[in-house]
């Protein structure tokens, strides 16, 4: 699995998530990005990859709004979003991206994201053999 983590302005948080994820799943590549232009380019680069997943970590409401600039690049991508706040408006806006999983990043241990990625990886492995 190739994993792209977008953590706007909070690269350290994205790197912490990557470290947690690497403990449980086999990845070919994990890349942490904190700039929207580079994020867009990497989405384009990986568009045809069948074993590709994206995690968006937000630390402010503006982080999610910034991602709307690349929303069309996120269609049909295995997407996880961890919101800074789980108020009704943020949740509704996040659902416009059609994520596979939506969570809060309040816990900061990322165990829920890790579990979802393990399941995604297992599903991709089974699908590759059929």
Written as one string, the DSSP assignment of 34-96 is: --HHHHHHHHHHTTT-TTEEEEEE-SSHHHHHHHGGGGGGGTTSEEEEEES---HHHHHHHHT
Look at residue 70 in the predicted model and tell me its pLDDT. 95
User: What are the residues whose beta carbons fall under 8 Å from the beta carbon of 61, sequence distance 6 or more?
Assistant: 84, 85, 90
List average pLDDT for each run of 10 residues in the chain, which is 130 residues long. Answer: 84 79 76 92 88 89 91 93 88 95 82 88 64
Query: How would you class 1 by CB atoms within 10 Å of its CB: exposed for 0-12, middle for 13-18, buried for 19 or more?
Result: buried
Look at residue 95 in the predicted model and tell me its pLDDT. 96
Confidence (pTM): 0.88
Closest CA to 46 of 15, 74, 65: 74
Look at residue 91 in the predicted model and tell me its pLDDT. 93
């Amino acid at each position: 699995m190739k994993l792209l983590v977008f953590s706007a302005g909070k690269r350290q948080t994205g790197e912490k998530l990557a470290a947690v994820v690497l403990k449980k799943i086999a990845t070919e590549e994990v890349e942490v990005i904190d700039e929207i232009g580079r994020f867009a380019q990497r989405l384009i680069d990986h568009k045809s990859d069948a074993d590709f997943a994206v995690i968006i970590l937000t630390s402010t409401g503006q982080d999610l709004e910034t991602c709307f600039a690349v929303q069309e690049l996120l269609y049909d991508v295995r997407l996880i979003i961890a919101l800074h706040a789980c108020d009704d408006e943020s949740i509704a806006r996040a659902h416009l991206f059609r994520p596979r999983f939506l969570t809060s990043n309040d816990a900061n241990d990322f165990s829920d994201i890790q579990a979802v990625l393990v399941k995604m990886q297992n599903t991709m492995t089974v699908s590759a053999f059929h």
